[in-house]
Amino acid sequence: MPRPITDFGVLTLDCYGTLIDWETGIWDALQPLIAANGRLDVTRSLALQAFGRLEAAQEAATPGMAYPEVLRRVHRDLATGFAMESDDPIDEAFGASIALWPAFADTADALRSLQRRYRLVVLSNVDRDGFAASNRKLGVVFDSVFTAEEIGSYKPDPANFRHLL
């Protein structure tokens, strides 16, 4: 039988997709590439599916790579995959876009409510600077934050979850 959530004192959260709307952030950050290439046929759904595949492959191939560089390389690979032209400034802007990704509308209120009862811990596939930029939108100070940068690997690597223990 599952234990009630009130039995726990610590909640571990992912950040991107849980607290931060990474899909909107990625889609918005892809707009300069799409516009520069006049590719109105590249839909949000297609772009996000391709991003997910390419990001997972890049993270698996380079587990110690900083997340902005992962984003930069994935952006270039997305451009290639959709037969679009990119350049270093557009790739670099995409790599730095995490600071612009929005929080979900209910995130800050939900976190403040949860923090009254639980210690809150974040385990995320980003770097410290990227999380710090996102955290400014979240309205709380987390009890602990663990990033892929400090762990040296990306989820779903079991090392990330062992690090929590």
3-state secondary structure the chain: CCCCHHHCCEEEECCECCCECHHHHHHHHHHHHHHHCCCCCCCHHHHHHHHHHHHHHHHHHCCCCCHHHHHHHHHHHHHHHCCCCCCHHHHHHHHCHHHHCCECCCHHHHHHHHHCCCEEEEEECCCHHHHHHHHCCCCCCCCEEEEHHHHCCCCCCHHHHHHHC
Annotated catalytic residues are: 14
**Maximum distance among all alpha carbons in the chain?**
54
